[in-house]
Amino acid sequence: MASYDWAAPRRSSGLSIGGFGLQDETKQPEAVSADAPYAVSKVLGRSIPIIVGTDKVDGIPVVGGATTSQVVTGYTEQKTTTFTRSLDSYPAGTRWKNGDYWSSGGIVEIPTYGSQQIAQLGYLLAYDPFGDGYKLIRLEVNNEVVYDAENGIGASINFRFYGGNHSSVDVIATANVGAQAGAWQAFAMVYLDGFPSTSAPSVKAVLSNAATDGGGTHEIAWTGTVPATFTENSAGRQAAYDPTQDVIYQILGSTYLPGSTQVWLIVLDAQTYSERYRIPLQGSEPYVSGFMWLYAIRGSNFVFVRFPGIDFVYDVVTGAAVSSHTEVGENFDWKIGFPFGDTYIITGFDFDSADLPYAQIDLAGGLSIGHIAGAGSGDLVYGRTTSGTVSFFICDSAGTVDEATFDGDAWTVATVYTSAGVPTGAWYDPLTGYLVVFETVSGAYYIRYIDPADGSTIDSITVTKAYFINTGTFATGRERYWPRPGYVMMTEGADDDGKVYLLDIAAKTISTYADHTGITNLSFTTGIFDQNKSVWFEAYGDDHWVEHQLPNTTPGLVSVSSFLITKIMSLVGYGPSELTFDGFVGLTTYGLGIVSDTNVRTVLQSPSEIYGFTFADTGSGFYFKKPGQDASFALDKALTTADLVFQEDAAVKSLDDAEIRRVARVELEYISKDQAYESSAPASFTMPAISNSIRVEKYSTPLVMSDADAKKFVTEKFFDLQARRRSHSFSISGEGRLLPGDVVSVPSGESTYTVQISSVSLSRDITAEISASDFQTGVSTTIHPVTNQGLGNQLPVTLATQYIHLDVPLYRYADDLGGEGLRQYGILASRGQQGWGGGILYRGDTAAAMSPLLTQAPHNGVIGTCVTVLGNPLDPFGTTDDSTVTIRRTSGDATLLVNHTEAEVLAGANFAYIGAKGRWEAVGYKNVTANLDGSYTLSGFSRRGYRGTEVFCDTHAIGDQFVLVDSAWLKSVNHPVSDLYLSKFYKAIGLTQDPSTGTVAQKQILGAAETPYACVNLDAVAGSPDGIDLSWDYRSRLAEGLNPSNFGEDTLAFEIDIYNGATYKRTLTATTGSVHYAHADVLSDFGADPPAELTFDVFMMSALPILVPGQTRAGSGRGYRARAHVVLVPGSMTADNAHITADSTTFTADAA
């Protein structure tokens, strides 16, 4: 490749970008005087960075210095002599001691002042030769983060940033330089104004010319009736947030949904900004107009609801009441909840007891409630989780912080900190292990970092006001703060303007996270504040929930070709039309920084190594080539022996590296976007030793990369280098037109090599001498990073998937296991969110020992909840049932709820299961009506009770689940027969989720697919000459029609129970579809032959030990029951409702 030294027209930047010559020497920055007061001097000649994309730079102080300012050093307390709420007559800065007159007992705090040295400095960050301007992503002062636009951390100090395309002159520049001060156009600048320091602060900044600004608001849309305007009650205690599933749960009664007769649970999607579904809560009718409290059991399928005097655990999918507790001598006010092992604990206050209560909820939603002896009153916050224990802290304004610890059997309470003043709040941070305590001591305000193990103070910060870590009175919400580990959220007094602050524990800085100055803190903290997602939600005073995204600036991926390389080449005078790219489609990067005097060859070398491209001068521009290593691969040229020039003893000379020189390990040093844009520990890849080689190939790049991309590079590079251990040299004649980077095939004896050209040299005899190495045509490595960001006060659970356990007959006859096992069906589906990526189902005999059972590809199958009852059909085997059912969709694509013809339904369209555990009915419907409230009414059932499920036609209830079924969605597994009626543990997680996460649920194996169908067409007639002849038609689990030869069981057998009225008499057996009830037995059972009437049940038998729940006389092996009540003597018919039972199929009578 030819080498040029291109001179680029450029502005004087202090950084030299040459062409492809040698790298220039770089002058090191000179130190700023550390003397107090300090000043800036000698800044000329330093290298000023250029950023292409995103990178971190060190700030160079160029203007300004130190000065002194007046600051508040303390407060003097003074008691007011008369009642007043105004402080206008007091000196500026005066405030109430505890936020308002009543809380402060009329005591105000008047500020006292002193002086301190502060920085007023301007820092030069980067040069902008492109004219795009830079955006500030992150700012660090003295190695502490004071601003992070990417992660929603607002400014905690005063600074001003200029991106390079500005024209205004900063006041610090004017004050130091005078009227002739310039704006430093084309340079990114940051000015610190008022930062307390005794020496010049160090500054680091992440800048980007490829970032987008975010922020703004999103209203969460209702699909059902819009409620009345939210108050502190409905926005606060009637709403709960589950960050693991990105949902807001809302309960509303008749106060907010006029005319409602039940309390409705509404699930709001915080990602799609829409209502997923709403369902009525079972048994909520008596409480529809009263007070109600809601708590999320995070990561589960349940919520906890308190109505006056009673507490419920509800299923969020069906609205069914799973368990409840009636308060007797109790008056609970629940506050916070947290997981403990396989259970969930909620604690709060009991106004009728001195001890704090706790509720423990198990995997199945079972509820038990107790009290914690010795746990007094105070603000409650999440505590520590250790092996076998969990705790929470109680911050008492009387002066102590206690910790209540639970080991699964008992609670213990201990004081972990005693304040010398009044603690106003506490928070436990799982990242540092600190108990952060806010307290007021003799009019001064402190933030203490406490070691909860021994109560010692690790560090202390003096602040200028009292902060509180609570959510106001019981009218406001619970569990409203969701800071990241390493941070604390807090507010001021209840009557102050609405504002939530953010404490960075490590940096000891406080910034404003969210504010709404038009309302008080009491109202504002009914909102939800989630730092992990850089958002906060608010509903108070509105009739919708609104998401507020924090103003943020997010660095984006940029094209390696059209952005990164094109901008780099523009520095030496090449325009886009002079650059040719081959094979760069889809190749992106975050960018790099050019931070020292260098040349273009050096700048391009690193990206070329990372992304595997080559570049060459074509005379009229530059050619950049990246060969494909996947399905896009294509040879640039297939050479033949006619192209080769024979030299000495061979046309192609090949050299194979010795085993000892094979690469054993690849390492990469890079700038990690995931690690605060700092140089990360090297990413590396190695394989188990297959040779004696210890060779390590090391790479270093200024590119900003994600950790996953770095891991992908070293993995692919390792295998690529393994394939390139053979080098080749050959010559071709004629006009070859080959360039470095081209991939060609070249014949050599009986072999043909695929090689990539590394150099081309034209000799005097017009032959091209080529050096090349083996090229691997297929390298594909997929790296799945798992980022496990805990939310500080909860387990890092992400549940995007639900599992529906379907106890149903055989969906396909071929699924039968011939008596050697049990077939169990189920469906994995989303929990209502969009973009579900599929799931994995785990199963185990215990909750602690589970293994993957099956995977489910993404689908949009509809899951719903019935809000009306599907009626019992007159003829479950007909095709004209006029029943209807209304459902609310809780998951899946509503466009699948469409009309179909009867022929299409009978062929399998609109096939669904409706019901619950142990009573699923298979149906098929023709018509779907979309209702204005977001529900759907299904009608025109051409299928009812399909494949033996008619026994459940009259068992339906509000809250039944609706599961739309397709063969691609329905999964099945086989169990050994020994699993019959055992309970297994299941959990469903998303395909890319950490297997250690997930909520475990118990499901029972009922053997529904192996249970014989109920018989039909039962009849009884007087025998000849006596007795009674009983008959019926049987059906098969494995074939259509009546009395098929493939009856589906080991043997054809039946049991028949005889009843006189409601009294059981005897059991007959049969091996065909009929039996004779002998004269002597009839006389013994009824006293007459024939009797006036009789009732009999028929059971088809299975060789398996089936026990159908709920049967009058359960017996091993019995299938579903068929019952008939028959009148044998004319005129003696009596009313008998016994035949209208859950599993009856026929009623016959031979009376005239």
pLDDT in tens, 1069-1097: 999 999 999 999 999 999 999 999 999 99
Task: State the average pLDDT over residues 928-935.
Answer: 89
CA angle 944–949–951, rounded 5-degree value: 100
Note every long-range contact of 401-406, with CB atoms under 8 Å and residues 24 or more positions apart, other chains counting: 401/426, 401/435, 401/437, 401/450, 402/375, 402/376, 402/378, 403/452, 404/347, 404/356, 404/372, 404/375, 406/340, 406/345, 406/358
Is residue 18's pLDDT more than 60? no
Q: What's the farthest any 2 CA atoms get from each other in the chain?
A: 129
Phi, psi of 511, deg, nearest 5: -130, 165
* Contact status, residue 228 vs residue 469, Cβ threshold 8 Å: no
Is residue 27's pLDDT more than 60? no
What is the predicted pLDDT for the residue at 12? 36
Q: Are residues 1021 and 1099 in the same domain?
A: yes
Q: Which of the 8 DSSP states describes residue 707?
A: H
The DSSP-derived string for 884-933 is -EEEEEEES-GGG-----HHHHHTTTTEEEEE-TT--EEEEEEEEEE-TT
The DSSP-derived string for 603-661 is HHHHHHHHHT-EEEE-SSSEEEE---SSTT---SEE--TTTBPPBTTBSEEEEEPPGGG
Structure-token pair, residue 640? 């033949």
Tell me the per-residue pLDDT of 48-79, one tens digit each, with 9 for 90 and over.
899 999 999 999 998 888 888 777 777 888 88
Q: Is 949 among the domain residues?
A: yes
Q: Is 188 among the domain residues?
A: yes
More confident residue, 24 or 764: 764
Q: Work out the pLDDT band at 795, boundaries 50, 70, 90.
A: very low
Q: Are residues 953 and 1079 in the same domain?
A: no
Summarize the chain as % helix, strand, coil (round to 5). 10, 45, 45
Phi, psi of 646, deg, nearest 5: -75, 125
Determine the structural domain holding residue 1105 and report its residue range. 1011-1139
Q: Work out the pLDDT band at 763, boundaries 50, 70, 90.
A: low
Task: State the average pLDDT over residues 399-403.
Answer: 93
Q: Is 478 among the domain residues?
A: no
Task: State the average pLDDT over residues 713-720.
Answer: 74
Task: State the average pLDDT over residues 912-920.
Answer: 94
What is the predicted pLDDT for the residue at 350? 92
Q: Are residues 730 and 838 in the same domain?
A: no
More confident residue, 318 or 911: 911
Tell me the per-residue pLDDT of 816-836, one tens digit each, with 9 for 90 and over.
999 999 999 999 998 777 777
More confident residue, 807 or 472: 807
Q: Is 354 among the domain residues?
A: no
Tell me the per-residue pLDDT of 511-540, one tens digit each, with 9 for 90 and over.
889 999 888 888 898 999 999 888 999 999
Q: Is 726 among the domain residues?
A: yes
- SS3 for 950? helix
> Residue 1106: which CATH number?
2.60.40.10
Tell me the per-residue pLDDT of 849-874, one tens digit each, with 9 for 90 and over.
888 898 888 888 999 888 899 999 98
Tokens 């599992």 identify what position? 803
Q: Is 12 among the domain residues?
A: no
Q: 253: closest CA among 311, 293, 219, 295? A: 293
Is residue 726's pLDDT more than 80? no
Average model confidence (pLDDT) across the chain? 83
Is residue 718's pLDDT more than 70? yes
Q: Are residues 956 and 997 in the same domain?
A: no
pTM over 0.75: no
Q: Is 917 among the domain residues?
A: yes
Q: Is 61 among the domain residues?
A: yes
Tell me the per-residue pLDDT of 656-700, one tens digit each, with 9 for 90 and over.
655 445 677 788 888 888 888 888 767 766 654 444 566 788 888
Q: Work out the pLDDT band at 11, boundaries 50, 70, 90.
A: very low
Is residue 778's pLDDT more than 50? no
Last residue of a domain, one of 965, 999, 1025: 965
Q: Are residues 1020 and 1110 in the same domain?
A: yes
Alpha helix ranges (H) inside 262-376:
none
Q: Are residues 805 and 846 in the same domain?
A: yes
- SS3 for 1029? strand
* DSSP bridge pairs for 528: 537
Least confident of 246-250, 630-634, 683-687: 630-634
Euclidean distance between CA atoms 704 and 869, whole angstroms: 59
Tokens 């802290």 identify what position? 393
Last residue of a domain, one of 187, 211, 235: 211
Last residue of a domain, one of 909, 941, 965: 965
- SS3 for 989? strand
What is the predicted pLDDT for the residue at 472? 42
What is the predicted pLDDT for the residue at 406? 96
Q: Work out the pLDDT band at 789, boundaries 50, 70, 90.
A: very low
Q: Are residues 979 and 1054 in the same domain?
A: no
Tell me the per-residue pLDDT of 973-1031, one tens digit each, with 9 for 90 and over.
999 999 999 999 998 888 766 677 667 888 999 999 999 999 999 999 999 999 999 99
Euclidean distance between CA atoms 393 and 377, whole angstroms: 11
Q: Are residues 991 and 1082 in the same domain?
A: no
Is residue 222's pLDDT more than 80? yes
Q: Are residues 1018 and 1104 in the same domain?
A: yes
What is the predicted pLDDT for the residue at 392? 95
- SS3 for 578? helix
Task: State the average pLDDT over residues 241-257.
Answer: 93
What is the predicted pLDDT for the residue at 75? 80
Q: Are residues 854 and 985 in the same domain?
A: yes
Q: Are residues 109 and 203 in the same domain?
A: yes
What is the predicted pLDDT for the residue at 792? 28
Euclidean distance between CA atoms 804 and 986, whole angstroms: 10
Q: How many domains does the chain have?
A: 5
- Tell me the one-letter amino acid at 766: I
Is residue 378's pLDDT more than 70? yes
Q: Are residues 1115 and 1022 in the same domain?
A: yes
